[in-house]
Amino acid sequence: MALLSIITAPDPRLKIISTPVDDVNGEIRKLIADMYETMYFAPGIGLAAIQVGVQKRLLVLDIIGKGDKDNDPQPLAIINPEITWASDNDACYEEGCLSVPEHYADVVRPAEIKLNYLDVDGKKQKLHADGLLATCLQHEIDHLDGILFVDHISALKRNMILRKLLKQKKMAS
Ligand code: NI
């Protein structure tokens, strides 16, 4: 396994629309293993392939995480996700993102979703998610379409965050 470097905003690669995985093979499973390692190390609760520069429709998440001593980790790898239903009622969570480090904002999304996807064995799966899992899935699926959580907040707040990140990048380079 290997730690992958995470792309941070603003970066044009984070706006790319990722393409479906056509074969869930050893190369994809290796990528998923590396993405888990990268996510747990960061640490974060979700990571989409495009965040490590791979333009494929896959993501990993674990809303429990390895740091929680009272609960077992719940790693979940989702390939080619399709949201088939979203609830009318919404939920609001304070979201963050490994590609938008150290910035957080309240985002409103459907409270529940249903999803079709492929698992690591390439088998079709269905999932009915609510709570934090539903929010996290929608956040990660957004990445596959080039959307960041800051695209769901006011332009004023978004631009403020992106300007700060750009300034940090310039200072670091
Ligand atoms: Ni994110």
| Domain 12-172: CATH class, spelled out | alpha beta
Residue boundaries of the structural domains of the chain: 12-172
Compute, in angstroms, the gap from residue 125 CA to the centroid of ligand 1: 23
Is-catalytic flag, 140?
yes
> 77-129: per-residue pLDDT in tens?
999 999 999 999 999 999 999 999 999 999 999 999 999 999 999 999 999 99
Compute, in angstroms, the gap from residue 46 CA to the centroid of ligand 1: 7
Q: What's the pTM value of the predicted model, to 2 decimals?
A: 0.95
Compute, in angstroms, the gap from residue 89 CA to the centroid of ligand 1: 23
Of 37, 94, 112, 140, the catalytic one is 140
> 21-80: per-residue pLDDT in tens?
999 999 999 999 999 999 999 999 999 999 999 999 999 999 987 767 788 888 999 999
Q: Is 32 exposed, middle or buried (0-12, 13-18, 19+ CB in 10 A)?
A: buried
Structure tokens at 34: 């590396």
Compute, in angstroms, the gap from residue 148 CA to the centroid of ligand 1: 6
